[in-house]
Structures are given as structure tokens and as C-alpha cells.
């Protein structure tokens, strides 16, 4: 499996990604650099793929009258992720990796809180109860390689790892062994996966 190789530019935007500029970000704290990659899943409405609702949410232009779920859960929400990987493997970027996106929420990585400060968020278009697409793994592996080449990435985690009890994504169908195989990263990059 091969995918277009990506490269992180000096502005934190990835060449090869479709840039969609979310207003939902802020500067990282002084001295904070991305050392953690957080993997999520999202679909809007939940379990339905395709369409522009995820991008609309991150761009603050989702019509919350369009679906009861949006009305109940998303109205007024200001969130973002650095990246979304669509089902076909297309990569979208919403926030520069040099900036702090709003994807992790209340979170802790081995006692270090506020994971948004020091992480890059990657959303896979998907749901907890469905497998992800091979094209998504291929794009994810290429993106992780590009990020690790540009930033001092030390670890990858799922949202559920850093917000246990509150978040369940990327869910049981996310194949961590496959990601490790496709990235060829050492075990130490997967601290939550150790037996």
C-alpha cells in the first residue's frame, strides 16, 4: 500500500493536504511543540459517511437545524482538528500543526494534562462500530511519517487513551498493529499498546 508522500511546510501546513482554514485554534503555549499524535474518529451524522458536515463543523458553518443530532450536541460548539482523513483516503487540514487545535478536550497523557497543548489531532472519518478503509491507513501512515520527520513526535495515542471513560474513539476497529506495521515505528511510539 502506498500513498502520496506528504511533507510539513515551515508554516505547519502539509503539502498534499487540502487546506481548509478553521478559526478554531490558538497559539501553542510558549515552548510547546507537538510530541504526541492523537487519533480520533468522527462522522456526521454519526455512522454516516460522505458530505461536508465534518468540515462545516470545524469551520463553524454547520447548519444545526439540518439534523436532530446536530441540534442536540453540536450547537454552539467550537472545535477543530488538525486533520481529517476521509473514507477514500483524502487528507484535509484545518489548523497549522504549529498551532493548538481543539480536538482532545479534558485529557491526560501519562499525567501530562491539556493534550491539545502538545499534540496533533487526526480524525478518521468513521465510527466505533465499523472498520476503517485501507486507503485511510495508507494516508495515515504517510501523514504520521511526515509529522515525525518535522516534529519531535514521541508517541501515538487514541482519544480514548487520553480521555478514558469520556471518549471511545477511534474505537475497537482501529487496527493499531496495522498502523505500526505501515509506519514501521518502534514499540515505544505506542505506549498504550504494550502488553
Q: Indicate which residues carry an active-site annotation.
A: 123
Alpha-carbon dihedral 48, 57, 93, 87, rounded to 10 degrees: 0
Tell me which stretch binds Zn ion (CB under 5 A): 29-37, 40-48, 150-158, 178-186. Answer: 40-48
Q: Count of residues for the chain?
A: 195
Residue closer to Zn ion by CB (options 40, 82) is 40
CB of 91 to Zn ion, least distance (A): 17
Nearest to 93 by CA among 3, 12, 179: 12
DSSP letters of 133-182?
A: PHHHHHHHHHHHHHHHHHS---EEEEHHHHSTTT--TT-TT--HHHHHHH
Based on the shown chain and the rule CB under 5 A, indicate whether residue 169 belongs to the binding site for Zn ion: yes
d(C-alpha 176, C-alpha 195), whole Å = 13
Using the contact rule CB under 5 A, the part of the chain among 28-36, 67-75, 80-88, 157-165 near Zn ion is: 157-165
CB of 168 to Zn ion, least distance (A): 9
Please state the closest distance from residue 13 (CB atom) to Zn ion, in A.
22
* For Zn ion, the closer CB: 150 or 159: 159
Residue 116 C-alpha from the chain's centroid: 11
CA–CA separation, 94 vs 18, rounded Å? 9
The smaller minimum CB distance to Zn ion, of residues 142 and 160, is found at 160
CB of 144 to Zn ion, least distance (A): 17
What contacts 44, CB < 8 A, 6 or more positions away? Answer: 51, 53, 54, 57, 62, 67, 69, 70, 74
User: Does position 40 bind Zn ion by CB under 5 A?
Assistant: yes
Residue 159 as a binder of Zn ion (CB under 5 A): the answer is: yes
82 binds Zn ion per the rule CB under 5 A: no
Verify binding: residue 161, Zn ion, rule CB under 5 A: no
Q: Is 86 a binder of Zn ion (CB under 5 A)?
A: no
- Contact residues toward Zn ion (CB under 5 A) are 40, 159, 169
Amino acid at each position: 500500500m502506498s500513498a502520496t508522500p506528504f511533507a510539513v511546510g515551515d508554516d505547519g501546513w502539509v503539502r498534499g493536504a487540502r487546506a481548509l482554514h478553521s478559526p478554531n485554534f490558538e497559539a501553542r503555549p510558549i515552548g510547546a511543540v507537538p510530541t504526541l499524535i492523537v487519533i480520533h474518529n468522527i462522522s456526521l451524522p454519526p455512522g454516516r459517511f460522505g458530505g461536508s458536515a465534518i468540515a462545516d463543523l470545524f469551520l463553524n458553518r454547520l447548519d444545526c437545524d439540518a439534523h436532530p443530532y446536530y441540534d442536540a450536541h453540536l450547537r454552539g460548539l467550537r472545535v477543530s482538528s488538525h486533520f481529517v482523513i476521509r473514507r477514500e483516503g483524502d487528507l484535509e487540514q484545518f489548523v497549522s500543526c504549529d498551532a493548538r487545535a481543539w480536538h482532545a478536550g479534558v485529557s491526560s497523557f501519562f499525567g501530562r494534562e491539556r493534550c491539545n497543548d502538545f499534540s496533533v489531532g487526526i480524525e478518521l472519518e468513521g465510527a466505533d462500530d465499523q472498520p476503517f478503509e485501507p486507503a485511510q491507513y495508507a494516508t495515515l501512515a504517510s501523514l504520521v511519517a511526515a509529522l515525525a520527520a518535522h516534529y519531535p513526535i514521541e508517541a501515538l495515542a487514541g482519544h480514548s487513551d487520553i480521555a478514558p471513560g469520556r471518549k471511545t474513539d477511534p474505537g475497537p476497529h482501529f487496527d493499531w498493529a496495522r498502523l505500526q506495521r505501515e509506519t514501521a515505528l518502534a514499540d515505544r511510539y505506542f505506549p498504550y499498546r504494550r502488553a
